[in-house]
Structure 1
Amino acid sequence: MEPERSLKLSIWEGALSVLFLNWSTGVLLTGYALVLGASPGALAVLGGLPFLAQLLAPLALFLRGSRKALAARLNLLARALFLPAVLVPFLPEALRVPGLLLFAGLSQLLAAPVGVLWLSWMADLVPEEKRGRYFGLRNALLGLVGTLGNLLGGAVADRLPPPLGYQAVLLLGVALGLLSVRLLWLQAEPPPPSSPSPLEALRAAGRDRTYLRYLAWVFAWYLAVMVGGPYAIPYFVQVGGFSMTQVGLWTVLSAVSGLLFGPLWGRMADREGHGTVLFRTALVAALMPLLWLAGSRGFPWPIWLAALADALAWSGLNTALANAALAHAPKAARGGYLALFWLALGLGGLGGSLGAGGLSRLSSEPSPYHLPILASTALRLLVALGLRRLTP
């Protein structure tokens, strides 16, 4: 019955996990921060926390024992540690946003090695010839679940007095995240291939010049994305006039569209390679912020159209990024390759978030978000076109 039983369980586990992750790092957390009085600089830091956490991803190589057990225990601790973030409105006003950043950051830092552990485990569990289709389908389904969760969370946040609605949704997210850990334990873990020491695995990846060029592109891409990325939801709310329910509807539209596009990109990746998917989806993601900027409170339709562009881009891009890294990695040194991948992603996203905070202070007209989003668009396009020189 394996690996089919475990692959089905992985989808159910992911559905619960994505609700916690979306609510504790995504649009609901951004709305929570806005209610608590977060400045554009604080929003940039909040958007950069997941990338800061990725700097600890290489620690996964130095953890001994079952990858499943390690991933489950780290997730259990990280999700429980997020609970104090629900209580920060009870702190003095000056400490609320710093408290939110502290507890959200600690939770994400603790979970940072899980990505390497889980992806290494899944790479052994999912047959290589099915990776594109399986992960394309899984990511599309999880995207739908996550965005339906955003819709539900946004509706609760709009209908209960702030910040009570956000607190209720975040508390439910922690409960579902803890439940998902149980499903993680029920999945099979194939015996890991014999591997070199962590330092030898990192050195093997560091000597692979083709892979290093790919990592340089990943770094540049996430830097470009995060120069404007933290301000998408604040722009929708404060410039586009969206309520949190409308933000949830926007993400639902994107996710439903992703259910169509994700499997199509997966089949293309299996047929033509991940490099083709990366290039095409990166071009769409590069131009998409122009639709944000074309929208306003009186003319919101370009923002709604951007939901389709978002689905078209990220339903293929997210999967192709990780699968391109796996395609480079020999089994024996896979951990080192994946650790450097998450490190490049984290450094790029963190650098972009810091740049976003700086750019938001340079101009407040017509909003502090316009200049970072415009800069992000230009940088994304340059990086996407640079992918032509790579062969992931």
Structure 2
Amino acid sequence: MKGRKQSELRETFRISITEGVYSQVYTSIAGPGSVFLTKLLVVLGASSIQFSILAATGQLFLVLMPLGALVTRKLTLHRSATVKWAVAGRGLTPLLGVIPLFLSDRLSLTAVLAVFAVSTALLSVSANIWAGWMARMVPVRIRGRFFARRNAVLLSFGLSTAFLLGLLVDRFNSDPVTLRFVLAGLFLLAGVIGLVGLRILLKQPEKPVTVTDTPVLKLFTEPFRDRNFKKLCIFGGWWMLAVGIGAPFWQPFMIEFLNMGVTQILLYGMTSTLGSILTLKYWGRFIDRYGNIAAMKLAIGIGTVVPFVWLFVTADSLWMIYAESLLAGSMWGCVGIVTANLVLAVAPENKAQVYSGLFGAFSGAGLIITMLISGIFMPPALKIAGISLYPMQVLFLITAFARFSALIPLSQVKEPNAVPLNVVLGKLRLWNKVKLLNLRVTLNREKKNR
């Protein structure tokens, strides 16, 4: 029995990572945050509000996640449902590039945003079903390391592929007509790659679950009787409210004010990915040893610092944001593991899918609110201590302080078997002292031997 479980676990790891590569390449081209989607909107002449809508639409992925628990409440096996919803969502992707070839720019903007919204909504349901499926397959004791390894591999493939495609897009940057056909080809490619990956996902093992007869209303309200889960949702909403401030404008700022091409933006993404890959293994070990909350507190500290770099960068000092991207990549790598793992640590095992969906909905709602507000109420330019800030940079300054404030609700969340951050830091200081003492002893011995 133990041998069978180990074999099943290894097969889960192998297929999850293989399928995940296809999924990540798809997301890098056509998913939320894609530079190719941003470029398409720039070509179509999008306004700041439309950039905000694009960014906010991408977060429907989080808000609609509870629907996954609703559509599977009568199913004992979830693999088929995961794939069917994903097929519907990814199958719409080629339309993102085809629409601008036949409609005016004004109509294309509306249609592209609408198609992207529907696709994202369908994929959000699939993602929630997949999260519950993975929670049943991967033991708690190794989830941190598993997601760290998986994310490292996926990010490597996703960003390297996107970078190569970015070179193609930049080559036709001066030819708007051809550029539209190139972008259409990329979104067609994304749809094909995404669908091929789902064929691999069909081979992943799964464990049957007990069908619930819990009424729908009770299914979604019962988790909020858990005080700790309510505190976690408050933190998720607070953190995402902070992150959403200025979030739609990182890429437009690069394009419009720093004069960066798609390749340069993707190089920034690759540098960020490198920072994530180099540290994901250590974040995974840290989380498995000390818990998600301690890791998240460290990530919030880093996330508070990095926006300040954007207040000083110019088109002549792009090296600053490339250096910043290493630190930001490490931070977001940690956040990615924690957000996937913390809710699973707090939730009862048989309710992981519902808890995960509700937490995602609260987090996504917070992100969408401030993303939209950022575009509708763009602040005026500002001069602070002799530094002139563009309106977008004012938003970057605000998000830095807002992120730091997320430590307040996080401190109220209780995680089983977690080690407080002050204890962790104390252990690290003690470890450093021991290492230093050992070094001194070694040096003294060498002197005596001489």
Tell me the TM-score normalised to structure 2 length: 0.83
Rounded to whole Å, the distance in 2 between the matches of 1:189 and 1:47 is 33
* 1:44 maps to which of 41, 48, 52: 52
Give a deviation string over 1:54-97, Cα, whole Å, max 9, x none.
32221112213331111100110111112211112221122121
**Alpha-carbon shift at residue 153 of structure 1 (Å):** 2.3
Distance 1:164 1:369, change over 3 A: farther
Mean CA deviation greater in 154-163 or 11-20 = 154-163
Unaligned runs of 5+ in 2: 1-6, 383-387, 416-450
Matches within 5 A, 1:278-293: 278-293=296-311
Distance 1:291 1:96, change over 3 A: same
Contact 2:275–2:328 (CA under 8 A) maintained in structure 1: no
Question: Helix, strand or coil for the counterpart of 2:209?
Answer: coil
* 2:204 maps to which of 187, 201, 217: 187
**Alpha-carbon shift at residue 192 of structure 1 (Å):** 2.0
Contact 2:237–2:362 (CA under 8 A) maintained in structure 1: yes
For residue 59 of structure 1, what is the aligned residue in structure 2?
A: 67
* 1:375 maps to which of 393, 398, 410: 398
For residue 173 of structure 1, what is the aligned residue in structure 2?
A: 190
Rounded to whole Å, the distance in 2 between the matches of 1:36 and 1:171 is 19
Rounded to whole Å, the distance in 1 between the matches of 2:210 and 2:146 is 22
Mean CA deviation greater in 363-372 or 267-276 = 363-372
* 1:27 maps to which of 28, 35, 38: 35
For residue 316 of structure 1, what is the aligned residue in structure 2?
A: 334
Distance 1:195 1:130, change over 3 A: farther
For residue 445 of structure 2, what is the aligned residue in structure 1?
A: none
For residue 217 of structure 1, what is the aligned residue in structure 2?
A: 235
Q: Which residue identity does 2:10 align to in structure 1? A: E
**Alpha-carbon shift at residue 302 of structure 1 (Å):** 1.4
Matches within 5 A, 1:235-250: 235-250=253-268
RMSD: 1.8
Contact 1:196–1:333 (CA under 8 A) maintained in structure 2: no
Matches within 5 A, 1:115-264: 115-160=127-172, 161=175, 162-193=179-210, 195=212, 197=214, 198-264=216-282
**Alpha-carbon shift at residue 242 of structure 1 (Å):** 1.4
Distance 1:262 1:389, change over 3 A: same
Give a deviation string over 1:261-307, Cα, whole Å, max 9, x none.
11110100000001011110121112211112221112112111121
Contact 2:231–2:409 (CA under 8 A) maintained in structure 1: no
The structure whose Rg is larger is 2
Distance 1:102 1:284, change over 3 A: same
Matches within 5 A, 1:94-105: 94-105=106-117
Runs of 4+ in 1 over 6 A off after TM superposition: none
Rounded to whole Å, the distance in 2 between the matches of 1:170 and 1:293 is 34
For residue 430 of structure 2, what is the aligned residue in structure 1?
A: none
**Alpha-carbon shift at residue 391 of structure 1 (Å):** 3.0
Rounded to whole Å, the distance in 2 between the matches of 1:128 and 1:196 is 26
- Identity among equivalent pairs (%): 26
Question: Helix, strand or coil for the counterpart of 1:217?
Answer: helix
* 2:105 maps to which of 68, 87, 93: 93
For residue 69 of structure 1, what is the aligned residue in structure 2?
A: 80
Give a deviation string over 1:317-341, Cα, whole Å, max 9, x none.
1111221100011022222211211
Tell me the TM-score normalised to structure 1 length: 0.95
* 1:268 maps to which of 282, 286, 289: 286
Q: Which residue identity does 1:11 align to in structure 2? A: I
For residue 9 of structure 1, what is the aligned residue in structure 2?
A: 15
Question: Helix, strand or coil for the counterpart of 2:411?
Answer: helix
Mean CA deviation greater in 206-215 or 154-163 = 154-163
Distance 1:237 1:53, change over 3 A: same
Distance 1:67 1:363, change over 3 A: farther
Contact 2:92–2:115 (CA under 8 A) maintained in structure 1: yes
Contact 1:287–1:381 (CA under 8 A) maintained in structure 2: no
Distance 1:384 1:33, change over 3 A: farther
**Alpha-carbon shift at residue 195 of structure 1 (Å):** 4.7
Contact 2:83–2:202 (CA under 8 A) maintained in structure 1: yes
Rounded to whole Å, the distance in 2 between the matches of 1:165 and 1:355 is 33
Rounded to whole Å, the distance in 2 between the matches of 1:4 and 1:156 is 38
For residue 330 of structure 1, what is the aligned residue in structure 2?
A: 348
Contact 1:215–1:344 (CA under 8 A) maintained in structure 2: yes
**Alpha-carbon shift at residue 385 of structure 1 (Å):** 5.1
Rounded to whole Å, the distance in 2 between the matches of 1:276 and 1:313 is 13
For residue 110 of structure 1, what is the aligned residue in structure 2?
A: 122
Contact 2:283–2:334 (CA under 8 A) maintained in structure 1: yes
Question: Helix, strand or coil for the counterpart of 1:369?
Answer: helix
Rounded to whole Å, the distance in 2 between the matches of 1:307 and 1:232 is 12
* 1:342 maps to which of 349, 360, 379: 360
Mean CA deviation greater in 154-163 or 361-370 = 361-370
For residue 420 of structure 2, what is the aligned residue in structure 1?
A: none
Rounded to whole Å, the distance in 2 between the matches of 1:300 and 1:10 is 36
